[in-house]
Amino acid sequence: WAIAFSLVYGRQIYKDYQEGQINLKDATTLYSYMNITVAVINYVSQMIISDHVAKMMSKVPFFATLKAFRLDSRSLYKSIVLALVKTVVFPLTIEVAFILQQRRQHPEMSLIWTVYRLFPLIISNLLNNCYFGAMVVVKEMLYALNRRLDAQLQEVNLLQRKDQLKLYTRYYRMQRFCALADELDQLAYRYRLIYVHSGKYLTPMSLSMILSLICHLLGITVGFYSLYYAIADTFIMGKPYDGLGSLINLVFLAISLAEITLLTHLCNHLLVATRRSAVILQEMNLQHADSRYRQAVHDFTLLVTVTKYQIKP
């Protein structure tokens, strides 16, 4: 498949070059060529590390972790909607832009050619979409973990209030703290699983993400340049304003900005969620807590502190 894809689209680029149809000032043309290049590089890089990725993914206790946190339907619904926007809405929007451009420049051609142009974009973003979807689920897992930690914070601080110390016996509080310590150990184990496997998953995806960001940055640059060029031609050269061409360029500019914004937004929420765990642990009052629970809190805090300086935005 990789060889066939490279031959078909490589031949198309070479043909455009021979006929002098390559216009890198056009956002749609540049976007198409960049995605073809990224798709080929992704194919080659993933073929090289496919065995490593397969072994790594087979060791991820994904569904067991999901079951342990018992995510509610609302959070899953929000995650699915966010993933669908990136994987479905964005490509459909670009397909509409391709159709408008083809109707304008080559009305005699079949609409199948727009799908032919869209296909490299879908392939080049496949790995990024997989990583984005996984990180959306990781974010919801961290939120669920922090909710469990927050519930412990409320109960632990409540048990150590003066009126509660008089209300419950020492044996009951010791028993309750031991139960909470067992639960906290399980949360620490899940936290470590999330951190370790998220980091391992990022390694094979890093090249694809860097290439995708380069594509979007170039797309933003060319998009702004095209809009500026069209406005300059109108006001300086007196040419009629190319509204449809500007609209098509604006679509690719907006998609590139939206892609970077979504990824930045997600990464920021992940960092906030990981730091929130440390904040909750620091707010726990351990003055009258059982020694078993103190040890569990200290171990979890050490884990969060160690991973805090290893997490990369």
- Domain boundaries of the chain, sorted by first residue: 2-308
312: confidence class by pLDDT, cuts 50, 70, 90: very low
What's the average model confidence in pLDDT over 180-198? 88
What's the average model confidence in pLDDT over 187-193? 89
Looking at mean pLDDT, say which of 63-72, 124-133, 179-188, 210-219 comes out highest: 179-188
**pLDDT the model gives residue 70:** 78
**Residue 115 confidence (pLDDT) above 60:** yes
Average pLDDT, the chain: 82
What is the Cα–Cα distance from 295 to 291, expressed in whole angstroms? 6
What's the average model confidence in pLDDT over 160-182? 82
**pLDDT the model gives residue 313:** 43
**Residue 14 confidence (pLDDT) above 90:** no
For 143: left if phi > 0, alpha if psi spans -120 to 50, otherwise beta; the answer is alpha
Burial status of residue 99 (CB atoms within 10 A of its CB: 0-12, 13-18, 19 or more)? middle
Tokens of 268: 């920021």
What is the Cα–Cα distance from 272 to 169, expressed in whole angstroms? 38
Comparing CA positions, the residue from 184, 133, 200 lying closest to residue 304 is 184
| Percent of the chain topping pLDDT 90 | 6
**pLDDT the model gives residue 1:** 67
More confident residue, 308 or 218: 218
What is the Cα–Cα distance from 26 to 24, expressed in whole angstroms? 5
What's the average model confidence in pLDDT over 46-58? 77
**pLDDT the model gives residue 308:** 58
Q: What is the pTM of this model?
A: 0.82
Q: Please write the tens of the pLDDT for every residue from 56-111.
A: 777 777 777 777 777 777 777 877 888 888 888 888 988 888 888 888 878 888 88
